[in-house]
Structure 1
Amino acid sequence: MQAAHRVAKNTGILYARMAITVFISLYATRLVLAALGVADFGLFNVVGGVVAMLGFLNSSMAVATQRFMSYAQGEGDLEKVKRIFNMSTILHAGIAVLMVLILEIAGYFFFNGILNIAPERVEVAKIIYHFMVVSTFFTVLSVPYEAVITSHENMLFYAILGIVEALLKLGIALYLAYSAFDHLVAYGFLTAALAIFLLILRRIYCHRNYQECELNFRKYYEKSLMKEISSFAGWSLLGTASSMLANYGQIIVINIFYGSIVNAAQGIAIQVSGQLGAFANTMLKALNPIIDKSEGAGNRLLMLKATMSGSKISFFLLIFFYIPVLIEMPYIFSLWLKNVPDYAVLFCRLGLIRNLIDQLFVTLTSAIAAVGNIRKFQIYNSVLNFFPLLISYVLFSFHFPVYYLYIVFIIYSLIGGILVLSFAKSDCELSIPIYLKNVVMPCLVSFVLILILSLVPFLFNLNQSLRLLFVISISSISFLIVFWFIGFNIEERMIVKPFMKKIFSRQ
């Protein structure tokens, strides 16, 4: 019950953050698209796609480091946490240097025959790319600090930092609207500078507030621990890097065959799915430390319960926002963007469906990581990550439509879910029939029911604004009813009821 209370409190804080940041970020995207134009926005999505990759890399590597810290906290060993922090700092300094070398070498090939960029914008694209490489270095160095904040479940500071970031991004977008400089160069520079600034803030905060943030490599160096963390981080990095390259590869493949105009539509789809998906992934940031600490304390049963409840609740949180957007996306996009790029609506719908499939199994990956035996899983997962790109490249070579890329990735997500289930069974003692019965089936049935009910307004001749209002209302009401009676099992309702009584007793 205490763990559930902490998750509920931290999730509430993070949702307050999201409620503020999502709308600011989406409005900032509208301003940036208007300032850059479709062609330059698509070009930034190709070259500056490194930023999106780095955000994914940073959060995934932070989860790997946080796993060791939370596990040690579950054991109640502060000295071990200090050693983990120091070993992690050394490790990520090496990774940061390696990443810079790899990106600079890759940049040479990108700009000499791979990327499809207008000749007059090649030099600008190179400048943006170097900004992103600098940002990479500081992003990787920040991973231990991100892990410390998460392992302490300090979601208040995380929320404040997120709001500051959103407001500064809005400031950048407003600046671009009036800047006399090349908008693309200015956007690349300011985006990289913002990333560095936020990372410095994390570092200062952690050293002032957490005992384990004591850098003394000679005192806290431990060869066996360094080997263990390096092995775990290395296999995690393999899985993360392959997934990251596969996602960035989508951008490259589309650029090669269709150019930067179609990349603009892809950039919009990435923004929307990223912002909406953040609502569900926010809960995972609050849940992951509980999974790791439970396993660290030897409580496998609590770890599996948290895993199953987390997958189900994060899926429901996703469809709460996804269903109205999926149904009314053309109208929403016409209100949001001055010029809606071709394929933007189609890409976004297919991308959201893929996210829903991934969400069904998302916490199982955290459970596998908590147990710690990730080598074989990451090898299989890394190989699987590249299949969609290879298949899509072949399909495009035979002139298949561009949206086939997303269809291939949806099939890949289904195969990935089967892979995760099989490893969760062998490594975490998960019962697949119980998971399918308690998580997958309630989620799928609920999604179909809410979707059908939310389509009712289309049976009537309503104007678009009124129809959108009815779709949101019906979707929200049906969501609450379906979630309670189909989504929750009896035990989960017993946990939630005290929170509901507490909320209503304050009214």
Structure 2
Amino acid sequence: MKMGITMFVSLYTTRLVLNALGVDDFGIFGMVAGVIAMLAFLNASMAAATQRFMSYAEGEGNREKQRIIFNISVVLHLAIAVVVAILLYAAAPFLFGHFLNIPEGRIFAARCVYWAMIASTVFSMLGVPYEAMLNAHENMLYFAVIGVLESFLKLGAALLVVHVLADKLILYGVLMAGISILAMTAMLVYCHRNYAECVIAPLRYWKKGVFREMGSFACWNFTVSASSMLSEYGVGIVLNHFFGVALNAAQAVAQQINGQTMAFSGTMLKALNPVISKSEGAGNRRLMLRASLSGCKFAYLLMAVFAIPLILEAPGLLGLWLHSVPAWAVLFCRLQLARTLMEQLFLSLGSAIYAEGNIRLYTLVKTGSGILFLGATYGFYSLGWPPFMMYVAAILFVTVPGGLLALSICVRRLGLSLRDFSFQVLVPCLVPSGATLAAGVALARICPQLSPVPVLFRTCLLLGAFLLFLWFFSLNARERGTLVFLLKSVCGKIQFSK
């Protein structure tokens, strides 16, 4: 329910903001504030690493160790926040003076957005240990309530920007940073009131061995997270350098759609990752691998149920959603969704590697692939190749190598069976996807796009077709029985409430 509400509100908010700011200012915000989107990814990655230690300790049944882990995590993330703030501050003269391609009259507004985003970033990083605590306790209710409130606050900010006469870009940037800081503050207060482990006393709860283990793990994890963040954000800067802010607007639209289609799978993984870590902490490798394979399968399916109809019907749906669709936005959306779908197939294998703890090789290769992706994109653009090559480079140098590496490590070191991965993940995911894509091509010829009605009609048909294929080809008997039971439970609760 939370994701349904936030998805609708977020998409409507993007429509309002694009119309209020215009393509150029929307592109500037997407590029400058993109640092927050990338740092949100970095925060999520660091929270997953911290949550791994907390869930592992909970699997061991060690409450004292959880307090030690929490305090060490607070110290580590305070140090990381300070370093990141200094680096972002130092990078500002170079970005705005030499590299970013921003219209002369909008440089001051872009700088204001950048400073607001730095403040939001520091607060977000300080909140990572608390987010990890919520994940370790599998408190999905908090994430649901705060997510809905945050989405409505962002809608309020968009409505305010539409009607004020001040500089809309500056106002929107400051409001978005303020909402992020408010959400982090609410999380800090909630955790201190509800979890006994949230006691800030680093001198009392300090253990050199745990610090060394967490520090090593955090350094390797931060390396791969930072390289991924810099490559993903850096490619937006490279795109801006060669093509201007209008292409950043198309990229921002693609990222918004991609983020919303990932929302359901992301929420599912928030609940699943603690199970993977706790199972490994309790010495149950078999359950850990089974949970990881289920995560790969359902992360893909939960995204594909929205992504595949969107890929097929992108021109018509974007035209309905936005008054003016930025150039290249349709192709960017299709390629971004295709890339992310491929990543979902291997996503929980990375969680399994993190749960086991030996992440050195995994992080080294992932770091190198991120740097190679950024360099390849710059090279392609220098040769005069078209803007969509950044997505091709991402698939070739990040998505495919990262997925194959995770699969190889899980097979060689964790005992995963290739046969299990093929028949429990690849076949249940790719068969309904291929069938739906074929149905979409055939449907486009039978029912051409002449008005908004055929677009919505075809989209609903494709959604229904995917769900039908999913039921017969993706779910086993136990999963079908569980789904039927859940649906009956929901219907029973609705009738009881009436």
> Which TM-score band applies after superposition, normalised by the shorter structure?
over 0.9
| Conserved 8 A contact 1:320-1:475 | no
Q: Give the equivalent residue in structure 1 for 2:426.
A: 440
Q: Give the equivalent residue in structure 2 for 1:283.
A: 268
AA in 2 matched with 1:373: N
CA-to-aligned-CA distance 1:367-408 (integer Å, 9 cap, x gap): 100111111210111001121221121111111111111122
Q: Give the equivalent residue in structure 1 for 2:466.
A: 479
Does residue 211 of structure 2 align to residue 222 of structure 1? Answer: no
CA distance in 2, matches of 1:503, 1:122: 52
CA distance in 1, matches of 2:201, 2:374: 44
How much does 1:294 deviate?
Answer: 0.7
| Conserved 8 A contact 1:353-1:410 | no
CA distance in 1, matches of 2:34, 2:82: 20
Residue correspondence of structure 1 range 72-83 to structure 2 within 5 A: 72-83=57-68
Q: Give the equivalent residue in structure 1 for 2:289.
A: 304
| Conserved 8 A contact 1:368-1:374 | yes
CA-to-aligned-CA distance 1:298-322 (integer Å, 9 cap, x gap): 1110111111011111111111111
Scaled by the length of structure 2, what TM-score is found? 0.95
Residue correspondence of structure 1 range 357-396 to structure 2 within 5 A: 357-396=342-381
| Conserved 8 A contact 1:457-1:467 | no
Secondary structure, aligned partner of 2:35: helix
| Conserved 8 A contact 2:305-2:467 | no
How much does 1:351 deviate?
Answer: 0.5
Secondary structure, aligned partner of 1:180: coil
- Of the three residues 445, 452, 457, the one matched with 1:470 is 457
Deviates more, 1:193-202 or 1:425-434: 425-434
CA distance in 2, matches of 1:81, 1:118: 51
Does residue 200 of structure 2 align to residue 249 of structure 1? Answer: no
CA distance in 1, matches of 2:491, 2:25: 51
Change in CA separation of 1:45 and 1:461 when aligned onto 2, cut-off 3 Å: closer
- Of the three residues 404, 416, 432, the one matched with 1:418 is 404
Q: Give the equivalent residue in structure 2 for 1:148.
A: 133
| Conserved 8 A contact 2:289-2:416 | yes
Q: Give the equivalent residue in structure 1 for 2:37.
A: 52
Q: Give the equivalent residue in structure 2 for 1:319.
A: 304
How much does 1:43 deviate?
Answer: 1.0
CA distance in 1, matches of 2:402, 2:78: 31
Q: Give the equivalent residue in structure 2 for 1:158.
A: 143
How much does 1:468 deviate?
Answer: 2.7
Q: Give the equivalent residue in structure 1 for 2:182.
A: 197
Q: Give the equivalent residue in structure 1 for 2:388.
A: 403
CA distance in 1, matches of 2:463, 2:421: 26
AA in 1 matched with 2:35: V
- Of the three residues 416, 422, 445, the one matched with 1:430 is 416
| Conserved 8 A contact 1:457-1:470 | no
AA in 1 matched with 2:452: S
Does residue 249 of structure 2 align to residue 264 of structure 1? Answer: yes
- 5+ residue gaps, structure 2, are none
Q: Give the equivalent residue in structure 2 for 1:119.
A: 104
How much does 1:439 deviate?
Answer: 0.8
How much does 1:492 deviate?
Answer: 4.0
| Conserved 8 A contact 1:371-1:427 | no
Change in CA separation of 1:177 and 1:494 when aligned onto 2, cut-off 3 Å: closer
- Of the three residues 356, 371, 382, the one matched with 2:341 is 356
Change in CA separation of 1:495 and 1:304 when aligned onto 2, cut-off 3 Å: farther
Secondary structure, aligned partner of 2:193: helix
Secondary structure, aligned partner of 1:250: helix
Secondary structure, aligned partner of 2:313: helix
How much does 1:137 deviate?
Answer: 1.0
CA distance in 2, matches of 1:477, 1:39: 38
CA distance in 2, matches of 1:492, 1:223: 45
Q: Give the equivalent residue in structure 2 for 1:6.
A: none
Q: Give the equivalent residue in structure 1 for 2:24.
A: 39
How much does 1:461 deviate?
Answer: 4.4
CA distance in 1, matches of 2:256, 2:64: 41
Secondary structure, aligned partner of 1:217: coil
How much does 1:497 deviate?
Answer: 5.6
User: Identity percentage over the alignment?
Assistant: 45
CA RMSD of aligned residues (A): 1.7
How much does 1:249 deviate?
Answer: 1.4
CA distance in 1, matches of 2:456, 2:317: 11
Secondary structure, aligned partner of 2:203: helix
How much does 1:30 deviate?
Answer: 0.8
CA distance in 2, matches of 1:399, 1:480: 42
Q: Give the equivalent residue in structure 2 for 1:8.
A: none
CA distance in 2, matches of 1:20, 1:498: 24
Secondary structure, aligned partner of 1:150: helix
AA in 1 matched with 2:104: P
CA-to-aligned-CA distance 1:228-250 (integer Å, 9 cap, x gap): 11111111111111111111012
CA distance in 2, matches of 1:223, 1:416: 33
Q: Give the equivalent residue in structure 2 for 1:11.
A: none
- Of the three residues 440, 453, 460, the one matched with 1:454 is 440
CA distance in 1, matches of 2:480, 2:446: 36
CA distance in 2, matches of 1:420, 1:339: 41
Q: Give the equivalent residue in structure 2 for 1:10.
A: none
How much does 1:491 deviate?
Answer: 5.1
CA distance in 2, matches of 1:98, 1:236: 16
Deviates more, 1:363-372 or 1:462-471: 462-471
- 5+ residue gaps, structure 1, are 1-15
AA in 2 matched with 1:70: S
AA in 1 matched with 2:446: F
CA distance in 2, matches of 1:273, 1:118: 28
| Conserved 8 A contact 2:120-2:180 | yes
How much does 1:98 deviate?
Answer: 0.8
How many residues of Structure 1 are paired with residues of Structure 2 in the alignment? 492
| Conserved 8 A contact 2:320-2:452 | no
